[in-house]
């Protein structure tokens, strides 16, 4: 009797893992594990540059109101976003769109919802003069402020030893970008992709199957489960029909002036999506389940059932990564 039970157990486990192995093979067609960091050909990463970048990420004294830093719109404790519909910069000026998380942002095709920032370095530099960001009077004003702060001259020299005058906004951008390139958040889903079939629960695996089957992977694929393409928001129906959007946003059209770019935005990566509410470019939806249902409706033309939405939500929660101690630890400011 015991022998029969063991044979049944082995066959059952083999069948289950056979199904999981098939799912893993299918998942690998669309996704890949997240790397330890996102390197740059134009901004080589060094410990000194990363250290300086982390400090500058929290630097408020180079903003027009003395209270604004990168961390204001991208607080680490909130998984790199401020949880506001639209971020508020210097003197509480409201930005035109929701602040995307800074985590894993260096691995995307571009920065911002409209892709109007080339990379994290470009974003860091241009944010200094942004009316809704730092609001600095000029790049020279920023450089003068940095040079006035005791300690930065030494830190910049250590990070950029070959520069005669290293305290400048280009090096500010490179340093901040270097630290942001280390902000990766591997999750249980990465363990699954690496072959650990027990890394996901049964419900999460069913959610992954559903995510693939209904067509979410047509846009949300790759290492970051998105962030690698542009797409119209509202392919089959206007997005504002189901959201609380107070104003229609033309997206990339305002940059390119091409009719085909109306309502087109960068496809957001879904890493840590459980932690980065509210959703969409205008922060018009707070609930993740509702956001999933809306995406099914306006992007895929599908009326997702409550069960489908719950399963997909379960899978998306497996994308929540653990923050390293370095990410969570505040730097000592000069």
Beta strands in the chain (DSSP E): 230-232, 264-266
Model confidence pLDDT, tens digit, residues 275-303: 999 999 999 999 999 999 999 999 999 99
What would the mean pLDDT of 150-171 be, rounded to a whole number?
97
Q: In this structure, are residues 118 and 111 in contact, taking their beta carbons and an 8 Å threshold?
A: yes
User: Is it the case that residue 15 has pLDDT exceeding 50?
Assistant: no
Judge contact between 208 and 152, C-beta under 8 A. Answer: no
pLDDT of residue 244: 86
Q: How many CB atoms lie within 10 A of CB 109?
A: 15
- Rounded to 5 degrees, φ, ψ at 313 are -60, -40
**Is residue 7's pLDDT more than 50?**
no
Query: Among 66, 51, 28, 83, which residue's Cα sits nearest to residue 222?
Result: 28
Q: Where are the beta strands (DSSP E) in 188-304?
A: 230-232, 264-266
* pLDDT tens track for 218-256: 999 999 999 999 999 999 999 999 998 989 999 999 999
Q: How many whole angstroms separate alpha carbon 68 and alpha carbon 255?
A: 26
| Mean pLDDT within 11-16 | 39
pLDDT of residue 1: 42
Q: Which domains does the chain have, with CATH numbers?
A: 26-35+186-317 (1.10.760.10), 47-184 (1.10.760.10)
* Structure letter (DSSP) for residue 88: B
Report the distance separating Cα 34 and Cα 194, nearest Å: 10
Q: Is the pLDDT of residue 6 over 50?
A: no
- The reported pLDDT for the residue numbered 162 is 95
The pTM (predicted TM-score) of the whole model is 0.92
């Amino acid at each position: 009797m015991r022998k029969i039970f063991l044979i049944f157990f082995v066959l059952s486990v083999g069948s289950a893992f056979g199904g999981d192995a098939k799912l893993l093979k299918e998942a690998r067609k669309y996704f890949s594990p997240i790397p330890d960091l996102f390197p740059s050909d134009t901004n080589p990463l060094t410990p000194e540059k990363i250290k300086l970048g982390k400090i500058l990420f929290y630097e408020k004294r180079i903003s027009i109101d003395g209270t604004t830093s990168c961390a204001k719109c991208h607080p680490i404790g909130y998984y790199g976003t401020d949880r506001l519909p639209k971020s508020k910069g210097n003197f509480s000026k409201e930005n035109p769109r929701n602040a995307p998380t800074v985590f894993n942002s260096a691995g995307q095709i571009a920065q911002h919802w409209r892709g109007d920032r080339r990379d994290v370095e470009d974003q860091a530099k241009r944010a200094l003069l942004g009316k809704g960001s730092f609001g600095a009077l000029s790049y020279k004003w920023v450089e003068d402020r940095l040079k006035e702060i005791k300690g930065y001259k030494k830190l910049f020299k250590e990070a950029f030893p070959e520069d005669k005058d290293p305290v400048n906004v280009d090096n500010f951008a490179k340093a901040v970008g270097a630290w942001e390139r280390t902000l990766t958040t591997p999750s249980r889903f990465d363990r699954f992709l690496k072959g650990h079939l027990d890394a996901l629960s049964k419900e999460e695996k069913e959610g992954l199957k559903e995510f693939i089957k209904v067509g979410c992977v047509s846009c949300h694929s790759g290492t970051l489960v998105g962030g690698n393409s542009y797409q119209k928001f509202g392919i089959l129906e206007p997005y504002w029909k189901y959201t609380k959007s107070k104003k229609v946003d033309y997206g990339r059209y305002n940059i390119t002036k091409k009719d085909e770019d109306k309502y087109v935005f960068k496809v957001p990566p879904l890493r840590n999506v459980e932690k980065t509410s509210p959703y969409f470019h205008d922060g018009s939806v707070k609930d993740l389940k509702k956001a999933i249902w809306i995406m099914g409706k306006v992007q895929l033309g599908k009326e997702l059932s409550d069960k489908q939405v719950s399963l997909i939500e379960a899978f998306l929660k497996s994308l929540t990564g653990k923050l390293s101690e370095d990410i969570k630890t505040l730097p000592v400011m000069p």
